[in-house]
């Protein structure tokens, strides 16, 4: 039997950090679903395709080789922007559904993070967590992250990017960013990483379902 932890929320809320920690703690596999959209956006841009053409983007998504997800540069700002543009298309989302659901039902348990895991991909997930933080806190985190990597960035620009991505992700018709009605809400605005992780563990441990292997 699988055990799925679905983690959703806006950019830089702390989803990935929490998801990775949970996966390590419970011995579950981890999938950062944002990488799928990032890879499609990157491939489409490299090929000079029209990112607003839903059918063309769907074709790129159907041909996606998950091996490309290992490319660390996908986590950058530019790929994030491209990702949110291709993610609005229903054919793109449809092409990725089966792969994500297969991952989620792995016998040893799985943690997936993204925007629509609890609402569309895994509505039956044993645990759903919606991670949030104010746009200002998220922009500060992203700015600090980039400064730590030696990049010259400006907080105001990052805040604008965060707000624009929130709007695109929440306002789209296909699988918009929103909390599932049965998701636990975890606001990390005032929490450091350790506190956020502990809060997430309490949510998993309080789930009425037995843990895989338990």
Residues of each annotated binding site for ATP: 9-17
> What is the pattern of x (binds ligand CDP, CB under 6 A) and - over residues 69-98?
-----------x--xx--x-----------
Question: Could you give the count of Cα atoms lying within 13 Å of 205 in the half-sphere of its Cβ?
Answer: 7
Choice from 46, 55, 70, 192 touching ligand CDP (CB under 6 A): 192
Quick check: 12 and 25 in contact, CB under 8 A? no
Rounded to the nearest angstrom, the gap between the alpha carbon of residue 9 and the centroid of all alpha carbons in its chain is: 7
196 makes contact with ligand CDP (CB under 6 A): yes
Q: Which listed range, 21-29, 30-38, 49-57, 64-72, lies at the site for ligand CDP (CB under 6 A)? A: 30-38
Q: Mapping DSSP to helix (H, G, I), strand (E, B) and coil, where does residue 109 land?
A: coil
109: how many CB neighbours lie within 10 A of its CB?
Answer: 22
Beta-carbon contacts of 108 under 8 Å, excluding residues fewer than 6 positions away, are 2, 27, 28, 29, 212, 213
Instruction: State which of positions 97-116 bind ligand CDP (CB under 6 A).
Output: 114-116
Q: What does the DSSP 8-state code read for residue 48?
A: T
CA distance linking residue 142 with residue 109, whole number of Å: 30
Q: Which listed range, 29-37, 47-55, 57-65, 151-159, lies at the site for ligand CDP (CB under 6 A)? A: 29-37
Q: Which listed range, 15-23, 51-59, 62-70, 202-210, lies at the site for ligand CDP (CB under 6 A)? A: 15-23
Residues making contact with ligand CDP (CB under 6 A):
9, 11-17, 33-34, 37-38, 80, 83-84, 87, 114-116, 141, 145, 165, 169, 188, 191-193, 196
């Amino acid at each position: 039997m699988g055990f799925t932890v679905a983690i959703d929320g806006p950019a830089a809320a702390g989803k990935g950090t929490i998801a990775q920690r949970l996966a390590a703690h419970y011995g579950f596999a981890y999938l950062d679903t944002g990488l799928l959209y990032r890879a499609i956006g990157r491939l489409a841009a490299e090929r000079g395709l029209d990112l607003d053409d839903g059918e063309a983007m769907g074709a790129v998504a159907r041909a996606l080789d998950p091996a490309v997800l290992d490319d660390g540069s996908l986590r950058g700002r530019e790929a994030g922007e491209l990702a949110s543009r291709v993610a609005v298309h229903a054919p793109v989302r449809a092409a990725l559904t089966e792969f994500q659901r297969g991952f989620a039902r792995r016998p040893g348990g799985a943690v997936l993070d993204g925007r629509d895991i609890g609402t569309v991909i895994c509505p039956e997930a044993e645990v759903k967590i919606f991670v949030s933080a104010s746009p200002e806190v998220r922009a500060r985190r992203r700015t600090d992250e980039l400064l730590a990597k030696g990049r010259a960035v400006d907080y105001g620009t990052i805040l604008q990017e965060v707000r624009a991505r929130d709007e695109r992700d929440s306002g789209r018709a296909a699988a918009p960013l929103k909390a599932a009605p049965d998701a636990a809400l975890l606001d990390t605005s005032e929490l450091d990483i350790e506190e956020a992780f502990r809060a997430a563990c309490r949510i998993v441990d309080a789930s009425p379902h037995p843990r895989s292997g338990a």
